[in-house]
Structure 1
Amino acid sequence: MSKSQARAPSLDRPFDVERRYVRMKALREDGFVEFDFSIGDPRICVELVMREPDYRAFCDIHDAVRLSALEAAALDAEELKWRYGQPGLAE
């Protein structure tokens, strides 16, 4: 399968309380990282902000899975589906 044919990864992974996920949202000019942190399911997260060195240490301590751009896009589409009834709708 070529890259253009690649699908977004499935979000239907089994819930695993031992697995941690991070999704970097932004690296700010002031050196802080905005990110989402999840335990067990990347669809259920909290938003956090830390200095970049602290963020890296946090990810290492929790052995966090860093979500790819494709996984992040799949999460965004899922959120839109729940918010607006169909994926991709903005209003």
Structure 2
Amino acid sequence: MQTSARVRERAFDRGFDITRRYVRFREHREDGFVEFDFSIGDPRLSVELVMPLREYRSFCHANRVIHLTRDEGEQLDFEESKWRYGQPGLSE
């Protein structure tokens, strides 16, 4: 398992660069569609997309994406939750 510092270095601290494209795989559904998040420049800013598996693979290849690991996805969720729900101790 990667340390949180390593996850942050790879996914967050690279600066905004439009040549970097990220995919966070969410689910391969029973109907053959893939749900995933796609971002350009910063994995914290993404759109949710759904497409058939074959098109998903072509999309990832054409965009030369960086596939986020499960640890990186969890770190994104953690960072988002701090903004959404606040961080204990900041207002106490």
TM-score, length-scaled by structure 2: 0.85
Map Cα deviations across residues 11-53 of structure 1 (whole Å, 9 max, x no partner): 2221111010000111100000000000000000000000000
- Once the two structures are TM-superposed, the CA of residue 86 in structure 1 deviates from its matched residue by 2.2
Identity of aligned residues (%): 57
| Matched positions, count | 83
The residue number in structure 2 matching 1:70 is 71
The residue number in structure 1 matching 2:16 is 15
- Structure 1: give runs of 5+ residues left out of the alignment: none
CA distance in 1 between counterparts of 2:33 and 2:76 reads 23
CA distance in 2 between counterparts of 1:44 and 1:75 reads 10
SS of 2:39's partner is strand
The residue number in structure 2 matching 1:43 is 44
CA distance in 2 between counterparts of 1:35 and 1:14 reads 22
The residue number in structure 2 matching 1:85 is 86
CA distance in 2 between counterparts of 1:86 and 1:50 reads 35
Match status 1:59 vs 2:60: yes
- Once the two structures are TM-superposed, the CA of residue 72 in structure 1 deviates from its matched residue by 0.4
User: Any runs of at least 4 consecutive aligned residues in structure 1 with deviations exceeding 2 A, and if so which?
Assistant: none
TM-score, length-scaled by structure 1: 0.86
Q: CA RMSD in A?
A: 1.3
Match status 1:25 vs 2:35: no
- Structure 2: give runs of 5+ residues left out of the alignment: none
